[in-house]
Amino acid sequence: MIVRAPSLERADRTALVVAAAAALAVGVLAAATTPLIPLAGLIGLLVLGLVWWRPIVGVWLFVGVVAVLPFGVIPVPLAGAQLTFVDAIMIATFSAVLGRWIFSRQWVALTAPGIALLAFVLVCAAAFVAGASVSPITPELIRRTGKLIASVLFFIVAGSLLTTEARIASITRGLIVAGAIQGGIGAVLVRLDPLTQLTLLSRLSAIGYPTVDVLRYVPGANDTYTSQLRAIGTSVDPNVFGGTLMLALVVILVQWASPRPVLRKSVLMLLALPTAAGVLLSLSRASWAGLAVGLLFLGGLRYRRILVLAALMGLATLATPVGQSFVVRFVSGFSTADPATAFRVGEYANALTLLTRYPVLGIGFGASPDIDVTAGVSSVYLLVGEQTGLLGLSAYLVALVATWWIGFRGLRGMRDSRLLGMRAAFLAAFSGALVTGLLDHYFANEAFPHAVALFWLYAAVLVASTRLESRQAEPERAALTRSTTVRANVAAV
């Protein structure tokens, strides 16, 4: 008996040839360079495909990376440049959302904050071009400015994906858990001896982390440093570490006070412990101020039990030596005898000087054009005004005020207690961030694009929860209107 070999269809043969060619290319690339390159390429393609398939995955990945490795750099250069993990995720998410907008013709409905942010981006572009006349445009400047603009526009991209209550609840859980992980890492690291902490953090240099000034100490007198370490986790800067954790801690505590939280209240309190430890050990006074204002504001507005919790925390702080040291640290920030405060006062004066000299479009995103005044200031609002002038600052403030007003308006009249709890939590976090922005710059600084994007993600969740409640209330209002009309007609008859 003669057994014939099965015949291959043309499509099958083509697939085999393509697979063989791909395997050969991967093998040659691994042999010529390192196996890490094809491995990184395959992982990148997998992540890209996943985000293109479900763009909301990009938001989840962003939250996770910000919590663990916000400054991590992909060790494999792409087209001569090395992207950070945040860069890669943002590119994938933006491309997925833009592709859906274009090919499905489902354009996103812009809100008032979104329109104001688009105007702000246009002013940023004009300020960038205007600043080129006095400061040279370098590839690094282009990259940093582009990342800042993308981080601001993350508000629109993320907002277009947060269209259901389930998605808003899931991203709320993600931000809470990510904050606890981030805070736990920082709290554990800072309790280690300095040499061990330095050794562990220095190993992150393989993915682009700095190898100098790794540990951060509290400044002392005469340009010296004390022996007191500040918690930084993997966020490089203790103020950024404390500020991003402040957002998560406010959400956790407001959710705990709400009647229908997204997680069990016992779980929320467990997750609050490492998050609060990270905020405290960062010794970031700006984040402490934002935390206090956000919680007290929401406690007075809606959930009174937050005020009770705040009172108990305040008493415990004043009654313990450790807590008293935090109080001394916070109060010292109001005196120019504190080195950091004195430095900030000088920055504020420089920023106001530059704003008066370049009032329309600011100085752009490069160095100061005047040799007698330095650029850079520890305040979101003065930094935006310094870089983009009064035009940019006006658009930016409109976006902030519109976002806050959307979240605040009608909060007391909400019926859905679950959605109310989420909206209240993000309103409190956003309010705290606005206060923090008075005292520090990382929510608008191109050096910390992940913090900028995280801030606008919180704003996007706030607006999305408000819009969802409005859509849910529309059928009830329509039914009430029809019922009123029927009764009026009956009465007329």
pLDDT tens for 207-244 read 889 888 899 998 877 777 888 899 999 999 999 999 99
156, 114 in Cβ contact below 8 A?
Answer: yes
What's the CA gap between 304 and 307, in Å, rounded? 5
69, 178 in Cβ contact below 8 A?
Answer: no
**Ranges of residues in the chain whose predicted pLDDT is under 70:** 1-41, 78-80, 106, 470-493
382, 355 in Cβ contact below 8 A?
Answer: yes
- In 3D space, the residue among 372, 287, 270, 380 whose CA is nearest the CA of residue 326 turns out to be 287
Q: Given this model, what pLDDT does residue 266 score?
A: 95
Q: Given this model, what pLDDT does residue 314 score?
A: 84
CA 368 to centroid of chain Cα atoms: 27
128, 365 in Cβ contact below 8 A?
Answer: yes
Q: Given this model, what pLDDT does residue 25 score?
A: 47
Structure tokens at 7: 């015949």
Q: Given this model, what pLDDT does residue 336 score?
A: 73
Torsion sign across C-alpha atoms 91, 96, 100, 106: negative
Structure tokens at 303: 């959930």
Q: Given this model, what pLDDT does residue 227 score?
A: 83
Structure tokens at 487: 């009764």
Reported as half-sphere exposure (CB side, CA atoms, 13 A), residue 127 has a value of 31
| Helix, strand or coil, per DSSP, at residue 338 | coil
Burial 347-356 (b: 16+ CB within 10 A, else e): beebbeebbe
Tell me the H-state helices in 282-379: 285-301, 305-319, 321-332, 339-357
What's the CA gap between 391 and 119, in Å, rounded? 9
What's the CA gap between 149 and 219, in Å, rounded? 32
Query: Which residues have C-beta within 8 Å of that of residue 322, sequence separation ≥ 6?
Result: none
Q: Given this model, what pLDDT does residue 39 score?
A: 61
Q: Can you give the pTM of this predicted structure?
A: 0.88
Within 10 angstroms of residue 158's Cβ, the number of other Cβ atoms is 26
339, 332 in Cβ contact below 8 A?
Answer: no
The backbone torsions φ and ψ at residue 194, rounded to the nearest 5 degrees and listed phi first, read -55, -40
- In 3D space, the residue among 467, 469, 451, 397 whose CA is nearest the CA of residue 247 turns out to be 451
CA distance between the termini of the chain: 96
Query: Which residues have C-beta within 8 Å of that of residue 148, sequence separation ≥ 6?
Result: 124, 365, 444, 445, 446, 449, 452
Q: Given this model, what pLDDT does residue 80 score?
A: 63
Q: Which amino acid, one-letter code, is at 420?
A: L
Structure tokens at 190: 């800072």
Within 10 angstroms of residue 305's Cβ, the number of other Cβ atoms is 12
Burial 431-464 (b: 16+ CB within 10 A, else e): bbbbbbbebbbbbbbbebbbbbbbbbbbbbbbbb
Look at the block and give the residue holding tokens 């890669």. Answer: 88
- In 3D space, the residue among 249, 240, 236, 237 whose CA is nearest the CA of residue 178 turns out to be 249
